[in-house]
Amino acid sequence: MDSKKEYMAGFIKIDEMKKIIVLGSSLLLCGSIFSQEDTLRSPQNYKEIIIQGQEKGSKEKASAQLQQSPDKLLSTIPGITLIKRGNYALEPTIRGLSAAQINTTIDGMQMFGACTDRMDPISAYIEPTNLEKIELSTSPNGNQQGSAIGGGINFALMKAQLNASKKFSGSAGAGYQSNANNIQFLGTFQYSTKRWAVLVNGIYRKADNYYAADRKEILFSQFEKWNAGANLIVALNDNNRISLDYIHDEGYAIGYPALTMDVAFAKAYISALTHTYKNKTRKLRSVETKVYFNFINHAMDDTKRPAEMVPMHMDMPGTSRTFGMFSKAKYVLNAKHVLNFQLNAFQNDLHAEMTMYPDFGSEMFMLTIPDGMRRTFGLNASDKWIVNRKLKISYGGRVEFNQSDITTEIGRQTLTSFYNGDGAQSRMSGNVFIQTEYAISNKIGVFGGVSYAQRPPSIQELYGFYLFNRVDNHDYLGSPDIKNEESISGNIGVNLKSEKFAISLEAFANSFNNYIIGVLLSDYSNMTIGAEGVKQFDNISNAFQTGGEMTVKWSPIKALTVQSVNSYTYGIDDLGGYLPYIPPFKSINSVRYYHKGWNVKLEHVGAFAQNNVSTARYGEGTTPAFNLLNFAVQKQIDLKNDRALYAEFGVENIFDAPYYEHLDVMKIQRQGVNFVLRTTFVF
Amino acid sequence: MELIRYFKIKKMKNIFLLSLMSAFLFTSCNKENGIPVDPITGEPTPTTEYKLLKKDTTDNDLIVELYSKTETIEMGYIPLYLKIRDISGSAVENALVLFMPMMDMGMMQHSSPVEQPVFNSDSDYYEGMVVFTMASSMGSWNLTVNVNGEDASFTINVLENPTGTKYVGSYNGTDGEKYIVSIVRPFEWSVGMNDVSIMVHKNQSMMSFPAVSDLIIAMDPQMTSMGHGSPNNVSPVSVGNGYYDGQVNYTMTGDWRLNLDLIKAGDTIVNSYIDILF
C-alpha cells in the first residue's frame, strides 16, 4: 500500500494525497485490529461479477443480482464509473476511458449504440436476466474483440444447462422501488435434457420520474422497457455443441433529463449462432465459433417536453447494424504453454438523421452520421506460459485491419460539407501485451504488466456531423484525417490473502499519444440552438492517466464480511490541464452479516470532490464530495424440492443526501431516499 | 423517410432523364437536314432537351421558336434558346440575333439584363439569357427577338419564385447606383458543397443593364429558421462578364439565405441576398 501511495504521490496534488493517506491508514488500522484467524469465503475476483449460473451457493446471490439493473451491477465493479444522462442506460467508463477507447461486447459480439447523443450504450439493451456474468478487463488483452486502448467489458450471456439436476427449473420475481414508483417483473425458465436444453427469460421494468433529495422531482426521468431472451443448446455429441441465442429488448418513453431530448423508443435485436468444440484429452482443447447479427433502432423524441423547453421540434432517429463472426481456439502446447488464437471479423453500419420543424419556414433534414460503415478483421494470439509453480507469464498481441467508408450518395455529399476528399479509408491497429504473476508465497502474490495498444477512431470521430455534446455544449464534427489513438500502459499490483483477510491493490499508468478530443473551430457556427460553438475530433499530442484500485475483504467471523472497494483516477492532457470524464476517488464500503438465511447489509458509498477539471477546455465543472448510506435485509427461505423463496427489503440513500457524481451530465441530482421491496421464487 | 423517398424518386428521375438522353442520341443519328427524327413516328422531334415555349414568324418569313429548360418561366436568370428556320424549313445559322425584353407597367416601361444569343453549332440552338427582374403580375413582359433586322415578338408570362425562394433582387447601392443580383441557373442543390454562380448587373437606365465584373462578393449562407451558418464556403469571385463563381455549403436541406455583400473599393455598397429552398 505504501508503495502505491508513493507511486501515485508523484502525480497527485497534495490535498488529494492527504485524503488518500488518511483513508489508506484508517483501512490499515482496521486491518491490523481485526485480523484474526478464520476461514475466508470463496476467493474474490473483482474483475468478474457472477449474476447467475451453476456456481455453488449462487442461488441466493442470483436472486438478489437478477433484480438489479445492469447500471447498478456495473457501478460496484472497481475501475468502472458510469456517465449518467437519465435514470436509464448509464454509460460505463473504465479508469477514465470511455466510448471507442474501451471495447464493450455482449458474449463476445460487437454491438454499437445507435444514438448520436450516446443515450444507448449497449449495456442498455441487456438485462441481468440475460446474463451469466459481467467480465471486466482493464488493459489490452488476448480476448479482445476489437482494438481498444482501455480494456473492455463483456456481458456473458446465460446459457441453458444440459443435463441439469432438475428437468424444469427457473425463477419468478417482482420488485418495487418507492422513489420512482418503479415496478419490475421477471422470470426465467429452463428445460433441460441430456441432449438439449432451452432457457427463456424475460423482464419488464417501468418507472415514473424519480425524486432527488427533499422530494425534488426530476422531470423526464421515467422509463419503460421489456426484454426477452432465449437460448437453445443442442449437444451434437460429447465434444460438439450448437447454441442459439436471441435477445429482444424494447424501451419506450425513456426520459433523459440531462439532455434536450428523450427517447420515443429504443429497440434491439440480438442474435447469435455458436458452435463449441471441447475435448479435454486433445491438445486442441476447445474451439468456439460464433456468427452473429444485431440491430438497433433508436428514435429520439422531444414531443413530451413543454413547448418552452423546445426551441424547435426535431426527429432524430438512428440505426446501428452489426454482423460478424469470431472463432477462438485454445491449444495446449505442453504443460507449460497454453496458446489462444482468435480470428474475428465484423461490419457495423451506422445511420443517424435529423429532421427539424421550424415554426416558420420549411422543414430541414440532415444526416448526423452520414451512413458510416466500419469493417474490421482481427487476429489475436496469446500464450499463457506457466514458467514454474510461482511464475506465470501471459503475452500476446492483436493485429487488426479496419476499413471505413460512407455508403450512400447523400452521405458522401454530406461529407463534402466539412471534408475535402474521399471518406473511404483503411487502417491497421492492434496491441501487444505482457502480464506476469508471481506468487511469493501462498498468501502474497504480485503481478504487473505492460502493453502497447492502438485504436482506430470510431465512425462518429471520423464522420460525425454536428453531434451535440451536452457536457461542453458544443457541436462536434468528425475528421477523416484523425490519427489512431495510441497508449503505452503499465500496471502493477499485489494480492494479499489470509484465512480471513484479503486485499488486492493495483496501480496503473497510461501514457497516450494522439489522444482524441474535441478541438475548437472558432470560426464555425453551431447548428444546435443554444450551443456555444463547434469542435472537431482531433488528436492532441499526448495525455497521461494514472490511478488505481484497492479492494479489501475481511471476515473476522464466518457470519460477518467487511468489504471495501476503492477507485481513483487522475488524468492530464498535453497542456498539463485535467482530462474530462475522470472520476474522483470513490469508495464503496459494506458490512454484511449472515445468519440462518438472513443477510443484513449496511453499505456506505462515498466520493471525494472532483476539483481537477478544465472547465474552459472541456466544459466540465467541479463536483462536491458525497456520502450515502444504504441498508438491506435479505431473507432466503429454503423450501422442499430445492425450491426457495427470497425476499429483500432495503433503503437506499437513507439520509436523503443530495448528491450527484462527477460523470453525471448536467449535474442533475441522483435519487434521494428510496425504499426497495423485492421477492423472487426460485424453483 | 420522406426525404429518402424523395432522393430515390430523384434518382429514378435521373435514370429516366438518362434514358431520354440516350434516346435523343439515338435519334440524332437518324437526323436529316439537321432536324432530329423520332425513330418510331418519323416525325421531327424538336423538343428533346428544351421545351418549346412559343413560335413567331418575322416579316421576312423566318420562323423563330423560343425554347427554355422549363415549360414555365420564373423570375431571375433564365437561359433562353432559339431555333430559326426559313420558309423552306431549313435552319438559319449564324444570323444576327438580339433580345430586347420589355416590362410594360402602364406608367412606365423598362428592359432587363440580357445576354445576346449566340449560335451554338453543337446544340444547333441560339443560346442567350434574360434576367426577369419582376413577375408578370406587375405588368406584362414582352420579349422581342430581332433576327437580321426583323422582329419576332413573344409575350412571356413570368411567374413569381416559389414561396421561400428569391432568385433575383434589385438594390440601391450606397454609391448611388442601382444593382441587380441574380443567381445563375441551372442549379440543382444537394446537401454538402455545391458550385454556385452569381451575376451582377448595373441598372444604368431603363434600357441599359451592363454586367458588373469588378466587385468583390462576401457570401454568408444562413439557415434563417435556425440562425446558423455553414463552414467552408467560398465567396464567389469575378470570372468576367458579370459572373461570379464560388462554392456554397448546405449542411442540411431547408431554407437557406445566401447573404451577398457587394464590395467596391473596400466599401460594402449593397447587402443583397438570394433565398434557396431544397
Other CB atoms within a 10 A radius of the CB of residue A217 amount to 11
Q: Are residues A17 and A46 in the same domain?
A: no
Q: Check residue A443 and report its DSSP letter.
A: S
Q: What pLDDT is stored for residue B2 in this prediction?
A: 47
Q: pTM value?
A: 0.87
Q: B277, A364: Cβ pair inside 8 Å?
A: no
Nearest CB partner across the interface for B225, out of A358, A409, A410 = A358
**Which chain A residue has the Cα nearest residue B252?**
A366
Residue range A216-231: mean pLDDT, rounded? 97
Per-residue pLDDT tens for B95-117? 999 999 999 999 999 999 999 99
Q: Are residues A241 and A336 in the same domain?
A: yes
Contact A373, A347 (CB under 8 A): yes
Contacts B225 to A, Cβ<8 Å: 312, 356, 358-362, 364
Per-residue pLDDT tens for A501-511? 999 999 999 99
Q: Are residues A27 and A40 in the same domain?
A: no
Q: B228, A525: Cβ pair inside 8 Å?
A: yes
A439 pLDDT above the threshold of 70 = yes
- CA atoms A415, A419, A425, A430: torsion sign: negative
Residue type, A188: T
Residue type, B146: N
Domain that holds residue A30: 1-34
Interface A:B, Cβ pairs < 8 A: 87
Of A168 and A18, the one with more pLDDT: A168
Per-residue pLDDT tens for A133-179? 999 998 887 777 888 898 899 999 999 999 998 999 999 999 999 99
Contacts A363 to B, Cβ<8 Å: 254
Question: Cell digits for A318?
Answer: 438512428
Choices 1.10.510.10, 2.40.50.140, 2.60.40.10, 3.30.360.10: CATH for B50-159: 2.60.40.10
Q: What are the counts of helices (DSSP H) followed by strands (DSSP E) for chain B?
A: 1, 20
Contacts B3 to A, Cβ<8 Å: 355, 365
Q: Are residues A550 and A664 in the same domain?
A: yes
Other CB atoms within a 10 A radius of the CB of residue A314 amount to 20
Q: Are residues A22 and A43 in the same domain?
A: no
Contacts B226 to A, Cβ<8 Å: 312, 356, 358, 364, 527, 529
Other CB atoms within a 10 A radius of the CB of residue B231 amount to 16
**Averaged pLDDT in 10-residue chunks for chain B of 278 residues:** 48 48 40 46 57 90 94 95 92 92 94 96 93 95 94 95 95 96 94 96 95 97 92 96 97 96 96 96
d(CA A229, CA A247): 4
Nearest CB partner across the interface for B252, out of A359, A364, A420 = A364
Per-residue pLDDT tens for A183-213? 999 999 999 999 999 999 999 999 999 999 9
**pLDDT band for position A42 (50/70/90)?**
very low
Q: Are residues A25 and A45 in the same domain?
A: no
Other CB atoms within a 10 A radius of the CB of residue A509 amount to 20
Q: B228, A526: Cβ pair inside 8 Å?
A: yes
Contacts B7 to A, Cβ<8 Å: 409-410
Give B145→chain A minimum CA distance, Å.
39
**Which chain B residue has the Cα nearest residue A531?**
B228
Q: B252, A360: Cβ pair inside 8 Å?
A: no
Give B237→chain A minimum CA distance, Å.
20
Q: What pLDDT is stored for residue A272 in this prediction?
A: 98
d(CA A535, CA A611): 24
Looking at residue A281, which CATH number applies to its domain?
Answer: 2.40.170.20
A97 pLDDT above the threshold of 60 = yes
Q: What pLDDT is stored for residue B56 in this prediction?
A: 93
Q: Are residues A13 and A135 in the same domain?
A: no
Contact B209, B180 (CB under 8 A): yes
Question: Cell digits for A256?
Answer: 433523459
**Which chain B residue has the Cα nearest residue A465?**
B251
A→B interface, C-beta within 8 Å: 312, 354-356, 358-367, 409-410, 412-418, 420, 465-466, 521, 523-527, 529, 534
Q: What pLDDT is stored for residue A76 in this prediction?
A: 86
The pLDDT > 90 percentage for chain B reads 74
Q: What pLDDT is stored for residue A60 in this prediction?
A: 59
Count how many domains chain A has.
2
* DSSP symbols for B100-137: EEEEE-SS-EE---EEEEEEETTTTEEEEEEEE-S-GG
Q: Are residues A429 and A474 in the same domain?
A: yes
Contacts A366 to B, Cβ<8 Å: 191, 251-253
For A441, residues 6+ apart whose C-beta sits below 8 A from its C-beta are none
**What is the domain partition of chain B in residue ranges?**
1-41, 50-159, 168-277
Give A472→chain B minimum CA distance, Å.
19
- Residue bearing cell 437513507: A654
**Alpha helices of A378-471 — where are they, by DSSP H?**
409-416, 459-463
Contacts B251 to A, Cβ<8 Å: 366, 414, 417, 465-466, 527
Choices 2.60.40.10, 2.30.30.40, 3.20.10.10, 2.40.30.200: CATH for B168-277: 2.60.40.10
Q: Which residues pair with A544 in a beta bridge?
A: A511, A572
Average pLDDT over chain B reads 86
Nearest CB partner across the interface for B253, out of A358, A364, A524 = A364
As a three-state string, the secondary structure of A284-341 is EEEEEEEEEEEEEEEEEECCCCCHHHCCCEEEEEEEEEEEEEEEEEEEEEECCEEEEE
Contacts A529 to B, Cβ<8 Å: 226-227
Q: What pLDDT is stored for residue B3 in this prediction?
A: 47
Q: What pLDDT is stored for residue A560 in this prediction?
A: 95
Q: What's the gap between Cα A301 and its chain centre?
A: 25
Question: Cell digits for A435?
Answer: 502480464
Question: Cell digits for B50?
Answer: 428544351
**pLDDT band for position A69 (50/70/90)?**
confident
A641 pLDDT above the threshold of 60 = yes
Q: Are residues A463 and A540 in the same domain?
A: yes
Q: Are residues A523 and A405 in the same domain?
A: yes
Q: Are residues A268 and A279 in the same domain?
A: yes
**How large is the angle between the packed helices A14-34 and A2-9, nearest 10 degrees?**
180
Residue range A369-396: mean pLDDT, rounded? 95
Q: Are residues A430 and A448 in the same domain?
A: yes
**Which chain B residue has the Cα nearest residue A533?**
B228
Residue range A260-283: mean pLDDT, rounded? 96
B→A interface, C-beta within 8 Å: 3, 7, 11, 164, 190-193, 223-232, 249-255, 277
Residue range A508-515: mean pLDDT, rounded? 96
Q: B225, A366: Cβ pair inside 8 Å?
A: no
